[in-house]
Amino acid sequence: MGAHGPGAPGVTLGVEEEFLLVDAVSGRCVPHAARVLAVVGPHGWESSGGSFQAELLSSQVEAATGVCRDLAGLRAQLRSGRARLAAAARAGGARLVASGTPVLDAPAPPPARGDRFAAIMAAYGDVVEDYQACGCHVHVGVPDRETAVAVVNHLRPWLPVLLALSVNSPFDRGRDTGYAARRMVEMARFPGWGVPPWSASAAAWDARVEALVEAGVLVDTAMTFWLARPSPRWPTVEVRAADTAATADEAVLQAALTRGLVGAALADLAAGREAPRADGQVCAAALWNAARRGLDGRMADPVTGRSVPAWRLVDDLIARAAPALAGTGDLDRVFTLVEGVRRAGTGADRQRRAAAEHAAGDGVEGGPRTVVEMLARQTESGVLPTAPPGEEPDVWDACERVPEPDAP
In the chain the domains, ranked by start, together with CATH numbers, are: 13-388 (3.30.590.20)
C-alpha span between 309 and 210 (Å, rounded): 38
- State the pLDDT confidence band at 5, using cuts at 50, 70 and 90: very low
User: CA Rg, the chain, in Å?
Assistant: 20
DSSP letter at 144? Answer: -
Q: Which residues pair with 45 in a beta bridge?
A: 50
C-alpha span between 387 and 394 (Å, rounded): 10
From residue 26, alpha-carbon distances to 30, 44, 71, 131, 361 in Å are 10, 28, 36, 20, 18
Q: What SS3 state is found at 400?
A: coil
Apex CA 157: angle with CA 156 and CA 158, to 5°? 90
- State the pLDDT confidence band at 6, using cuts at 50, 70 and 90: very low
Strand-pair category, 171-172 with 175-176: antiparallel
- The pLDDT tens digits for 49-79 are 789 999 999 999 999 999 999 999 999 999 9
Q: Which residues have CB under 8 Å from 238's CB, separation 6+? A: 4, 137, 138, 139, 228, 229, 230, 231
Look at residue 1 and tell me whether its pLDDT is greater than 50: no
Strand-pair category, 193-194 with 225-226: parallel
Q: What is the pLDDT of residue 9?
A: 63
Q: What percent of the chain is predicted at pLDDT more than 90?
A: 76
- The pLDDT tens digits for 311-369 are 999 999 999 999 999 999 999 999 999 999 999 999 999 999 999 987 654 444 568 89
Q: What single-letter amino acid sits at 394?
A: D
Extended beta strands in 259-393, E state: 298-300, 307-309
Q: What is the pLDDT of residue 321?
A: 98
C-alpha span between 293 and 252 (Å, rounded): 22
Q: What is the pLDDT of residue 233?
A: 83
Flag whether the pTM goes above 0.85.
Answer: yes
Q: What is the pLDDT of residue 359?
A: 63
C-alpha span between 368 and 356 (Å, rounded): 9
C-beta atoms surrounding 141 within 10 Å: 24
Mean pLDDT of 106-115: 88
C-alpha span between 266 and 273 (Å, rounded): 10
Q: What is the pLDDT of residue 16?
A: 97
Look at residue 218 and tell me whether its pLDDT is greater than 50: yes
C-alpha span between 251 and 317 (Å, rounded): 17
Q: What is the pLDDT of residue 361?
A: 45
C-alpha span between 136 and 245 (Å, rounded): 6
Q: What is the pLDDT of residue 57?
A: 93
Look at residue 277 and tell me whether its pLDDT is greater than 50: yes
15 within 8 A of 92, measured Cβ to Cβ: no
